[in-house]
Amino acid sequence: MNPPQNKLTLRARAGYMCGGAAQTTIVTLINVVLTYFYTNVMGINIAKVALIMLISRLFDGASDIIAGVIIDRTHSKYGKARPWLLRMALPHFVGLIAMFAVPPVSEFAQLIYIFVAYNFANTIVNTMAGLALSSLNSLMTRDPVERSQLNALRQFGAPVMELAISALTIPVANRLGGDQRAWLLVILCFSAIATLCYLLCFFWAKETAPEERGESTEAVPVGKAFRALLRNKYWFICLIVWIMATFYLTISGTNLSYYCQYLMHNVNYMSVLTTAEKLSTIVLTAIAVPFMIPRLGKRNMMLAGACVVTVGHLITLAAPLNLTVATVAAVLRGAGIAPCFAVLFAMIADCVEYGHWKSSLRTEGVIFCAATVGQKFGQGVASAIVGGLLDSAGYDGLAAVQTATANTMISRIYLLTPALCFGVIALLMLFYKLDKEMPQIMLDLEARKQKEALR
């Protein structure tokens, strides 16, 4: 039985949900439309774009570590993670627009600009804001159920923004003229909404006091924190799950626009399929997931969801170019994704408690870098995979019709990615036992806290 906690207010829950919508904005734009914009609007070679994103991973690794250490060492009147939501709000707005404001210069100069803008927006701003939001989960409450519910709310806010970006960006930009100016107008709107959401999260979501969480206010030495992390076996499982989930989001998101345009011969089908998947996720997250969490547990929800995605997507093999079949598969993918993403951040929050129990060190920032490391490593490698495969197959973003080899590659990526990624996630869940261990871990931590108080 867990120690009694003050229940989270509706306002705090709504704030965290807004944070989920804000944080996913850069991620979704990168995963779904950024590569399409660079290749099909700006006419830049897809392999060069993919190379930039892959090289950026070298900087991402350092930024995730630095961000985690900064958060663990932050002590302000607003807490550890919460102040960084406010500090990153304006840079987030600027970074989003900068990625699409490529100047009309030589291709080499454009590539340099893309590298700088991409790393500012993703490596610096999104790392700091995303890690702050993830860490906030374990800083708002110690109740594992409430953490899961917070994460479910985050995953309700995130797919709403993902749905808007995926379904509206390309059609609206095309309706406004399809040129760079039209894209910038659309991105400006999303940037403003995301900034507002970050501000609402900052003002509404509150951290509990350090003593209520049973932690010391003294900074943990960096080396000591990372040595403890290496002993946290469940952190490694969550890290790989994050990488696989991001592989799916990036590869499928990037490739879907090409699949719809060149194989289904209508790029607007992307909006149909994305809407079907995201609405399924949103509805299930809102209606079913809150009731499933206390009954099934996080591990079983992740396992069941991964199986639904894997099996549900396989029906596309029956009629790969049929819109109805593709839509049904998208609905099933969304239904499977809902429980997976609803518990993922809560599972990482449990890793904080497990690490605290095992090493007597509490390092939210360092542990939650699993989310950003997995997310951005997955983005970069997945983008490089898509770019490399399509370039090797002869893809040309300015061509009205692609070669048969390029179309075959686009089709294989679309058909195989979901089953491969979520098949790996399902396998990993067979080794995840923390749900069963958490009740005793929380009792041990509370007993340790009471013992320290008596000294």
Q: Which position has the token pair 């005793």? A: 440
pLDDT at 366: 74
pLDDT band at 370 (very low <50, low <70, confident <90, very high): low
- What is residue 1's predicted lDDT score, i.e. its pLDDT? 41
Report the pLDDT value the prediction gives residue 436, as an integer from 0 to 100: 92
> Which pTM does this prediction carry?
0.74
Average pLDDT, the chain: 87
Residue 53 predicted with pLDDT over 90: no
Q: What are phi and psi of 73, to 5 degrees?
A: -100, 5
DSSP H helices, 176-268, are 180-204, 222-229, 233-258
**CA-based nearest residue to 115, from 60, 49, 180, 211:** 49
Residue 400 per-residue DSSP state: S
Q: How far apart are CA 76 and CA 83, in angstroms?
A: 8
Report whether pLDDT(323) > 80: yes
Q: For position 185, what pLDDT does the model report?
A: 97
- Quick one: pLDDT at residue 259? 95
pLDDT in tens, 201-241: 999 998 875 655 555 555 667 777 778 888 889 989 998 99
* pLDDT value of residue 399: 86
Looking at the predicted structure, is the pLDDT value of residue 308 above 60? yes
User: Could you tell me the two tokens for 240?
Assistant: 């790989």
The stretches of 288-403 forming alpha helices (DSSP H) are 289-296, 298-313, 323-359, 364-392
How is the chain split into domains, by residue range?
19-205+222-449
Q: How confident is the model at residue 387 (pLDDT cuts 50, 70, 90)?
A: confident
411-436, pLDDT tens digit by residue? 999 999 999 999 999 999 999 999 99
Predicted local confidence at residue 371, as pLDDT? 61
pLDDT digits (tens, 9 = 90+) for 86-107: 999 999 999 999 999 999 999 9
Percent of the chain with pLDDT over 90: 52
Burial label, 195 (beta-carbon count in 10 A; 0-12, 13-18, 19+): buried
Residue 294: the pLDDT is 77
pLDDT at 364: 72
Which of 123-132, 180-189, 210-219 is modeled with the greatest confidence? 180-189
What per-residue confidence (pLDDT) applies to 220? 66
Q: What is the pLDDT of residue 139?
A: 87
Place of tokens 């774009």: 49
Cα–Cα dist 321/411, whole Å: 9
CB 263 within 8 A of CB 411: yes
List the single range of 50-64, 83-97, 192-206, 299-313 with lowest mean pLDDT: 50-64
**Number of DSSP helices (H) and strands (E) in the chain, helices first:** 17, 0
- C-alpha span between 183 and 267 (Å, rounded): 16
How large is the average pLDDT for residues 332-340? 93
Mean pLDDT, range 5-18, rounded to an integer: 87
Given a contact cutoff of 8 angstroms between Cβ atoms, the answer to whether 72 and 64 are in contact is no
Rounded mean pLDDT of 7-30?
Answer: 92
> Scanning the structure block, which residue is given the tokens 């049973």?
214
Q: What is the pLDDT of residues 35-44, one digit of tens each?
A: 999 999 999 9
Average pLDDT on 185-211 reads 90
Specify the pLDDT at position 4. Answer: 45
- Under CATH, which architecture does the 19-205+222-449 domain have? Up-down Bundle (1.20)
Q: What is the mean pLDDT of residues 314-342?
A: 93
DSSP codes of every residue in 94-110: HHHHHHH---SS-HHHH
In this predicted structure, the answer to whether residue 254 has a pLDDT above a threshold of 50 is yes
Of 33-37, 210-214, 250-254, 283-287, least confident by mean pLDDT is 210-214
DSSP characters for 355-368? HHHHHS---HHHHH
Look at residue 343 and tell me whether its pLDDT is greater than 90: no
pLDDT of 83 strictly over 90: yes
Average pLDDT over residues 404-417: 94
For residue 453, pLDDT over 50 is answered with yes
Alpha carbons within 13 angstroms on the beta-carbon side of residue 394 total 9
Per-range mean pLDDT, top range of 66-75, 144-153, 199-208, 337-346: 199-208
**pLDDT at position 286:** 80
